[in-house]
Amino acid sequence: METPQQRWLRESREVEQALRGLFAMDLDDGQLRQGMEEMATRWPFPGLIALWGPGLYYRNRTVFRPFILARFPQFTFDTQGRPQSVFKGPSAELFERWLQDVDRSGDVELFRRLYRLQLQDLAWEARGKRWREDLLARYGAASTRAQRQRVLNQFDLLFELDEPAAITLYTADSVVSRGFILAHLPWGLWYGSSRRSPWQKLPALARERGDEALALDVYRRQVSEDTWKLDVLALCDSVREPGALVEALEQRHPAQWLKDAATTFLALASKRGRDVVPYLLRHVRDVRQPWLPLNRSFAQLVELAREREWLDLWSALMCTSATPDTYDHEVLGLLQRSRLPEDEVQRRLLLLAGVGRELNFPGLGLVQVQPLKDETAVLLYERFPDLVRGPFLRHVSPGRSGTYPKLTTRAIKLEDAPLVDYLASRVALQSVWYGASKQPTPWAEVIDRLSASYEALLARSPEAFVSRAATVLGKMPAFAIGNYGLLVRHNRLARLLFERAHAHYAADARAMRDLLESPQIHVQALAFRVLGRDDERARTLAARNVDLLQATLLRPLHRKTRLMALGALRNAARDEAAARQLVGRIRDALDLPDRRYPKEALLGLLADILHRWPALRGPSEQPVVYGGAA
């Protein structure tokens, strides 16, 4: 069997031979570009840039530059698979000339990449030193602001400046260099070591020139927590106007992660009171309650906010920075120990509801919600049921924080359909695995109670069950089901909703539409299965929902799910108006490049529609009858 090293050696030689043959052929630029694109799929190709990079660039820079940038390597190798700098050995002279030509032409992006390869053989610290030397030499030789900006653009790589280099750049041109200095500034996260200390000379120089903004930017990125605490407490003594104090605190707030912000915030609040609360609220996410009660700064800050009735700060600390036990204890205190009027208790509980932290990415958002314990949730439900159904609903969501069997039992007993349906939508997502011990998990109790409730509803009133089940399924979030087979095998409630009762859903047209509009793909697949059944109700409902079903032709789906959707579309196409909407979409779907798309089933669907509705056939789809020769 071929080892990775043998495979590398073989493929490297094949690429080398193919490249030499390609360059030897009489091809125009378009044909050569196509041949290079095919070869670029071989994994040794980028690292062998010495064989193709300069040749393509000097042949036609305009045509081949995008290809070179797209395939430019991070490291280079020889044909034996050994790391080899292209700026050493036989290719050194050619690459030095290429770098110089790229520099003269003003190609900043390609210069950066070639320059990075030039530093490949150096250790990281040596690379940084060489980078600073080259940067300062070129920057000092530049005579105009445009030339200095171009140098900074060329050397905008992932290296750090030291203070003497930053001072040199700033002294020569404070306008152009300011952003570059901040982008390559060593961050204060590493300033706890004895090797480094925050810069002093550059901030002083900036203040001499009236550039307070740069001095403060450097300060925020490098200040230690101890120094920051002393500085902001000094501001409390020197700045008396509250608005000016908040602005000064903002200007000096550290840009790095803070280990013990609660201690500094407590000192500020104790010294200046309500004046600093706007600043504390803006940075409350920097506060974290320690899990071990060694540092009581957080608890003292919460007590101070509660005693002085800074309810905005108190609630923000609870929702954002407290541990779940502390948060639960605070809610329990309002319910059991508080002597406040009922309306005030409810108002303070509302302040504790909601999201504490959130983190958003393209297509993905994460939020932190403080969970309540089951006993606390029951007490809150008994006293303020509307709060549990509304603002505190996320705080009693079954999951890693707990299963809430007592709250579930109480909601079922009171026939609280909205709350029971929400709890069921979360419980039905849990895969209950008993393992070798065959001992029930904590989820077993709540699953059995909810399942018994919905099974009794199904036996008593199938119509009511369908409406409630559709509500439960519609509340399930996207991407919440990992292994569907494991879920329905071990979760009795999920098995009831997805498998045992799916024949009943066709009795409710509104419920079927809710299932199709669900964000959970397995719920949509349930709707596809129901609408694909061989009965008249399914065909009627499929035609009525063709506006939603037609989207499945062009959206990404797993093959098995798409086949279910095609079954529902086949039923919908029994109606001529629905078939007329589908034909164009089906023809578009046939042109999709997805290799896993079941085109044979799609073609069969199109043939079935055209056979049933001949008026929808195009000119090329009309049958041709060949007669015998005259």
> How do residues 430-483 score in pLDDT, each as one tens digit?
987 655 455 667 898 999 999 999 999 999 999 999 999 999 999 999 989 989
Residue partners of 217: CB distance under 8 A and separation at least 6? 182
3-state helix, strand, coil in the chain (%, to 5): 65, 0, 30
CA 462, CA 455: separation in Å to the nearest integer? 10
Asked if 621 and 583 count as a contact pair (C-beta separation under 8 A), the reply is: no
Two tokens at 422? 């929400």
Mean pLDDT over residues 292-316, rounded?
91
Query: What SS3 string covers 20-58?
Result: HHHHHCCCCHHHHHHHHHHHCCCCCCHHHHHHHHHHHHH
Checking phi first, is residue 382 left (phi over 0); if not, alpha (psi -120 to 50) or beta? alpha
pLDDT given at position 294:
65
Compute the distance between CA of residue 321 and CA of residue 265 in angstroms, rounded to an integer: 13
Closest to 427 (Cα-Cα) out of 371, 379, 475, 373:
475
pLDDT at 64 over 90: yes
Using one digit for the tens of pLDDT, what is the confidence trace for 372-417? 999 999 999 999 999 999 999 999 999 888 999 999 999 999 999 9
Who has greater pLDDT, 628 or 230? 230
Confidence band for 193, pLDDT divided at 50, 70 and 90: very low
How confident is the model at residue 393, as a pLDDT?
95
What is the C-alpha to C-alpha distance for residues 517 and 532, in angstroms, rounded to an integer?
A: 17
Residue 523's pLDDT is what? 96
Q: Whole-angstrom Cα distance, residue 576 to residue 580?
A: 6
Q: Of the segments 4-18, 284-298, 350-364, 482-496, which one has the largest average pLDDT value?
A: 482-496
Distance CA 581, CA 61 (A): 49
- Determine the pLDDT at residue 363: 74
Could you tell me the pLDDT band of residue 44, with boundaries at 50, 70 and 90?
confident
Q: What confidence tier does 359 reach under pLDDT thresholds 50, 70, 90? A: confident
Mean pLDDT for the chain overall: 91
pTM: 0.83
pLDDT at 192: 44
Looking from the CA of 295 toward its CB, the CA atoms found within 13 Å total 15
As a whole-number percent, the residues of the chain with pLDDT over 90 amount to: 77
DSSP state of 73: -
Q: Which of 417, 425, 502 is nearest to 464 (CA)?
A: 417
C-alpha distances in angstroms, 581 versus 311, 531, 549?
57, 17, 11
| Higher per-residue confidence, 257 vs 228 | 228
**The pLDDT of residue 600 is above 60:** yes
Instruction: Judge residue 535's burial from the number of C-beta atoms within 10 Å of its C-beta, 0-12 exposed, 13-18 middle, 19 or more buried.
Output: exposed
Greatest alpha-carbon pair distance for the chain in Å reads 113
Q: By C-alpha distance, which of 434, 438, 431, 439 is closest to 493?
A: 431
Task: Write down how long the chain is.
Answer: 630
Q: Is 77 helix (H, G, I), strand (E, B) or coil?
A: strand
pLDDT at position 194, please? 40
What's the alpha-carbon Rg for the chain, to the nearest Å? Answer: 34
Asked if pLDDT for residue 123 goes beyond 50, the answer is yes
For 178-192, the pLDDT digits (tens) are 999 999 998 654 444
User: Has residue 127 got a pLDDT over 70?
Assistant: yes
Per-residue pLDDT tens digits for 506-542: 989 999 999 999 999 999 999 999 999 999 999 999 9
Nearest to 134 by CA among 158, 152, 114: 152
Whole-angstrom Cα distance, residue 272 to residue 442? 49
Q: Residue 308 and residue 302: Cα distance in Å, rounded?
A: 10
Q: Pick the residue with more confidence: 98 or 20?
A: 98
More confident residue, 135 or 16: 135
Question: Both ends of the chain: CA-CA distance in Å?
Answer: 67
In this prediction, residue 623 carries a pLDDT of 83
Using the predicted structure, report yes or no on whether residue 30 has a pLDDT greater than 80. yes
User: How much is the average pLDDT of 572-581?
Assistant: 94
- In single-letter form, the type of residue at position 459 comes to A
Residue type, 102: V
Burial of 438 (0-12, 13-18, 19+ CB in 10 A): exposed
Contact (CB, 8 A) for 472 and 487: no
